[in-house]
Amino acid sequence: MSTEQAADPQKAANAALGKFFELIKQGYSRCLHYNMDCKKDAIRAHSIQNNKVLDLLQRDNHVIVPKNKIIAGKATAEFGPLGRHQASTFTGLCAEHDTELFKLADTLPLDTGNKEQLNRYAYRAGMREMHACVEAGGRFFALEAENIKKGITKPITPNAAGIAALEFSMRAWRVFRYRTKYFDKPILAGTEPPVEHHIIDLENQTPSVAVSSLFSVGQAQKKRYPRRDADGRARKRNQNHGPRLLCHGPGRCGEERPAVSV
Ligand SMILES: [Zn+2]
């Protein structure tokens, strides 16, 4: 923080906001296929099928998505339009591996009776989550490095950016282990991933929402890296629970059913 910013909290807050938006623009673009030794450039691929699912939701080639915003100095989220070709995209696979893994999910209409296709939807939700964690970890590592360079943070000293970077890196590691155990190994062995699919058909409704997401219920590991507030105080954690994948397949395309994929 400069002397000028220290004397003016509003300037310091504006500088922090500027840094926040700068970090958000930094992306992670590498192929995360299996052992992550692929050197090809990642493409911007949809985590939700564009031609079949987003097509049911779009209006004038736009869909409504949650957007992070800063209003009156406070972080908030609100819904707003986004071009369908940008919606739900991530840069975690090269073109070849994206096609190899998700051709079945991308080229055929959704078939809730097709276990293999549902498995690919679930796999992609895990892939997207892993990419999101790696990307967030990279952003916080970059912020910590810059803060050290500017003398804002002392090297090898606990700080909010460094702790956040570690948290996201650990989360990415847990998703990677989960992905390896439940998807990569079975697929490489030519067997079915041990995934359960729960399908709920919502009758007589027009398509309204689609999600591709992997999340755990509770915490997936013991308290090795306590979650901390921005001021460094440890936060109380919930009781440990194992990770669970919840995968709901959308209604069949063209049948006027909601497309919900979690
Ligand atoms: Zn690749």
What pLDDT, in 10s, does the model give residues 93-146? Answer: 999 999 998 888 888 888 888 988 889 989 999 999 999 999 999 988 998 998
Q: Which residues pair with 62 in a beta bridge?
A: 59, 83
Extract long-range pairs of 80-85: CB within 8 Å, 24+ residues apart: 84/50, 84/54, 84/55, 84/58, 85/50, 85/61
Is the pLDDT reported for residue 29 higher than 70? yes
Q: How confident is the model at residue 240 (pLDDT cuts 50, 70, 90)?
A: very low
Instruction: Determine the distance separating the centroid of ligand 1 and the alpha carbon of 159, expressed in angstroms.
Output: 35
Instruction: Determine the distance separating the centroid of ligand 1 and the alpha carbon of 128, expressed in angstroms.
Output: 15
Instruction: Determine the distance separating the centroid of ligand 1 and the alpha carbon of 179, expressed in angstroms.
Output: 16
Is the pLDDT reported for residue 4 higher than 60? no
Whole-prediction pTM value? 0.73
Q: Which two tokens stand for residue 63?
A: 């869909």
What pLDDT does 197 receive?
87
What pLDDT, in 10s, does the model give residues 198-238? Answer: 888 888 888 888 998 887 665 544 445 555 555 555 555 44
Instruction: Determine the distance separating the centroid of ligand 1 and the alpha carbon of 184, expressed in angstroms.
Output: 14
* Average pLDDT rounded to a whole number, residues 187-198: 89
Is the pLDDT reported for residue 25 higher than 80? no
What pLDDT does 239 receive?
39
Q: Which residues pair with 66 in a beta bridge?
A: 79
